Amino acid sequence: MTHEIKVPQLGVNDEFVIIVEWYVKNGDNIEKGQPLCLVETSKTTSELIADKSGYIKIEKKELEEAKIKETIGYITPTKSEKITNKTKIEHKIKATRKAIALAEKHGIDLSKIQKHGMIREKDVKKLKPESITLKPSKITEPREKKIKWKGKIKPSFLKKIQIDEDFKNLSSNEKIKLYLKNGASIGKNVKIGQGTIIISDYINIEQEVKIGSRCFFKTNKLKIGRMTEIGNNVDIVTREMVFGDVNFTGDNIIIGGGGAFGKNSKFKSRHNGFNLDTGSISDFAIPG
């Protein structure tokens, strides 16, 4: 007699599930108590277990939604359709379709996995390098993206603000207007604090940036990503300086020194990757 595989009530308020993965495929001979598939509700994931032995016939595919109590497959006493088994793994090894595919792709022998029950994709990934055989593949190093510098500043303006004692005490809006007028690229909601002066041939500042306290930059090229904060007594001297998005500095941080304007000197922080709230870095030139 054909047996229906129905979605059980997994949670009080759940009305449907998503079929994440089938561990078996059409035509497989399955046994009672064998895990059939993994389903996901809004709060949890659960495995559906076979209530009886027989041959599987799948009605709902992976990543499809199914209502609670809906029939997603059948277990039949006889094989209902001809299925071509392309796997090279012996049938006695119980593994999910994804685990078998990954094993075949990399030439991995699933018999090396010591596990009771169904072998899953994550079990294949956990194999130690010395216990698996991988097919040769080309490995190429990712190329670093070339920065397109913009916001070239007029040289006459740079000379003027270095000798003008009043410039650093202007309001943020007044400074930004002057920087923009003289070639800088500055986004919305940028704040440049009192006492702060930025000296650079290129100034490119994204939106939502705060530069405060007594920061002093004297660099060849400057790029600051969005939602970055640079504050306190930061005194940076370097040829090129790049801050990624969402970076924070704080307290007495000094970067640069005798070699700061060397041929390959650069400072670069990744996105979400630079956070110095305390301490000091002094006379520190970063080579490119």
Q: What is the pLDDT of residues 69-91, one digit of tens each?
A: 999 999 998 875 443 444 344 44
Tens place of pLDDT for every residue, the chain, 288 residues?
A: 889 999 998 877 788 888 989 999 999 999 999 999 998 887 788 899 999 999 999 999 988 889 999 999 999 988 754 434 443 444 456 778 788 888 887 777 777 776 766 778 888 887 755 445 444 444 444 455 567 778 899 989 988 888 888 888 899 899 899 999 999 999 999 988 877 888 888 888 888 888 877 666 676 788 888 888 877 767 666 667 787 777 777 666 666 554 444 555 566 665 554 444 433 333 333 333
Give the residue extent of every domain in the chain. 3-131, 155-276
Helix ranges (H only) for the chain are 97-105, 121-125, 155-163, 172-181
- Residue 282 has what pLDDT? 36
* Rounded Cα gap, residues 196 and 244, in angstroms: 20
| CATH architecture for segment(s) 3-131 | Beta Barrel (2.40)
Q: How is the chain split among helix, strand and coil, in percent rounded to 5?
A: 15, 30, 55
